[in-house]
Amino acid sequence: MAKGSNWLIAKDLHGNYKLYNVEPGRKAIVDGVSKGLDELQMGTMLTSTATTTETPLVNRTTTITQGKVFWASPKSVIVTLEDGVNKQYAVPDGFKFDVDGKQITAMELRPGMKLTGTKIVEEPVTVITKDVVVTGVAPK
């Protein structure tokens, strides 16, 4: 084993030498005692155990859009957004709009009616964490 301030070279089980970058402050448990890289002796046998945990999560994005009805049909509505841009939206079958506390269809929308739309997008993501424990036995 050769070592520097943040690296060490060690022989693996197959007799090959490998360079390992060591995070600052990283410790190994040698003979039951926590030791830093600068405290390791030549000939110390190290074993690394890595535990990888994958945690499924849902990344949820909520977008609120406000505007006024510019034009409406049973399948589509065009809304003038707050920045003055007209944007067209598809209207799903049976969809109701909440206007002043009333549920109305797209055909009941009139130009100038104020609308607020909430779009929620859920995207599955996986958070991966890794915990590595290094243990060893110092030479006798």
Q: Identify the pLDDT of residue 111.
A: 96
DSSP state of 41: P
Q: Identify the pLDDT of residue 53.
A: 95
Give the mean pLDDT of the chain.
90
Q: What is the pLDDT of residues 75-124, one digit of tens each?
A: 999 999 999 999 999 999 988 888 888 889 999 999 999 988 888 899 99
What residue spans define the domains of the chain?
2-48+130-137, 59-124
CB 39 within 8 A of CB 1: no
Domain 59-124 has CATH 2.40.50: yes
Q: Identify the pLDDT of residue 103.
A: 87
Structural tokens at position 18: 């490998």
**Single-letter amino acid code for the residue at 135:** T
Structural tokens at position 139: 């030479």
In this prediction, residues 124-131 reach a mean pLDDT of 93
Q: What is the pLDDT of residues 22-67, one digit of tens each?
A: 988 899 999 999 999 889 988 899 998 999 999 999 999 988 888 9
Kindly report the number of other CB atoms within 10 A of residue 68's CB atom. 13
